[in-house]
Amino acid sequence: MKTASFTPDLGLKEAKHGIEEGFLLRDGLYEKIFYTGARDTDLGGVNDMGEIVGTYGDYTFKDHCFLRDKDRFYTPFDMPSNLPDFQNATNPDCNGINQGGDTVGSFSDGVTNHGWWRTAAGTFFRLDVSGGASNTEAWGINKGGDIVGSYEQTGIHGFLLSHGSGSYSTIDFPNATNTHAYGINDQGDIVGSYSTATTDHGFLRRQGHWKTVDVNLADALATNRVTGINDHGCMVGVYTGIDTRRHGFEASSREADGAGDEAGKNGGIAQMDFHEDDCNQQPEKEDFSDPGAGIDFHATQVLAVTYDEVAHTVTIAGLGNNNAILPVAFTIIAVDSSAVPPGMFSISLSNGYSNSGSLLSGTITLR
């Protein structure tokens, strides 16, 4: 898993005069987002449509939610205090938005916190984990309406509210003291944070399997939390640096790297070189050369990447060109060298060429 230091695609920055301002990072460019006339602006989530949900504070020190659509038009909204479930509602946090425009967050009634879910049509529902729990907070929602968040009950626990069943299930990282669930993608992958007796860590839960997410950058002291994951598996979060300040990070949940030689189709040596990760949707390499067969392939677009964690394989499919001019589709299958030494690599092109075999030199690594 690779981590990179950057300011995540959506978040906060501290302005010089001490207030919070939101930002959006897209295609390497930052856009400041600040609700007009507000005291501060805190962004919670963004969907693939470019719609953003957030919280702004006014100069009476009251907080309100807002939606910003893809055309940069802002729509404020508050908790519906006229409904019994939302009487005395204050201090809303507006944390997540899905592809359909449903949003989630939390609010206080002066005694404890409750989660909320607002449909794109504007209907509100209060969310509370039952059985003596308190301080329910909703953080993320996916396209299917599954919601993740946290609650308190002899410690802090994450939860998953399944839209299909309407039931809550607890999300606890094994042997952790506290767990928060912050984000969920459309495949059901869940990210968040957990605490041990000594430090904090991020986590990824995918298909029932847990993985610790720790930033591996030289300046990192602790990974505070993973706050979001997209449908490709690219994660963002927050870590504390040796400068004691908090920084954003990006992390690939899966990576595949390979470089080496195998036997050519018509004698000689064929060379492969590829790299894929969940945060880089444009291929960095995916090159293959077999001079004896007249093949010099370079990928131009990756259409699908599939990992098999049991077989330790990656399958990459997409488009490219041969000898710089002839367009071809490709499929690459690679087997991790640690699982099947010395590693295996195969490639098939739509022009009829194919080659496969064990590496003569080099290595293939899946993470």
Percentage of the residues of the chain whose pLDDT score is greater than 90: 77
Q: Is the pLDDT of residue 17 over 90?
A: no
Enumerate the domain spans of the chain.
Answer: 3-252, 255-366
CB 162 within 8 A of CB 171: no
Question: What fold is seen in the domain 3-252?
Answer: Neuraminidase (2.120.10)
Q: Is the pLDDT of residue 313 over 50?
A: yes
Instruction: Quote the pLDDT of residue 254.
Output: 87
Q: Is the pLDDT of residue 279 over 90?
A: no
pLDDT for 30-64, tens place per residue? Answer: 889 999 999 999 999 999 899 999 999 999 999 99
Q: Is the pLDDT of residue 24 over 90?
A: no
Q: Is the pLDDT of residue 8 over 60?
A: no
Q: What's CA 164's distance to the chain center, in Å?
A: 23
Which of 24-38, 263-277, 337-351 is predicted with the least confidence, judged by mean pLDDT? 24-38
pLDDT for 108-148, tens place per residue? Answer: 999 999 999 999 999 999 999 999 999 999 999 999 999 99
pTM: 0.83
d(CA 200, CA 100): 33
pLDDT for 293-308, tens place per residue? Answer: 999 999 999 898 999 9
d(CA 213, CA 196): 14
d(CA 363, CA 260): 6
- 220-229 and 234-241 as β-strands: parallel, antiparallel, unpaired? antiparallel
Instruction: Quote the pLDDT of residue 2.
Output: 54
Q: Measured between alpha carbons, how far apart are the two ends of the chain, in Å?
A: 6
pLDDT for 64-100, tens place per residue? Answer: 999 999 999 999 999 999 999 999 999 999 999 999 9
Query: How far is CA 205 from each of CA 101, 162, 181, 202, 279, rounded to the nearest angstrom?
Result: 25, 15, 10, 10, 18
d(CA 335, CA 233): 20
Nearest in space to 307 (alpha carbons), one of 285, 281, 334, 340:
334
Which amino acid, residue 237? G
Which of 166-175, 281-290, 320-329 is predicted with the least confidence, judged by mean pLDDT? 281-290
pLDDT for 185-213, tens place per residue? Answer: 999 999 999 999 888 999 999 989 999 99
CB 53 within 8 A of CB 33: no
d(CA 277, CA 290): 25
Q: What is the mean pLDDT of the chain?
A: 91
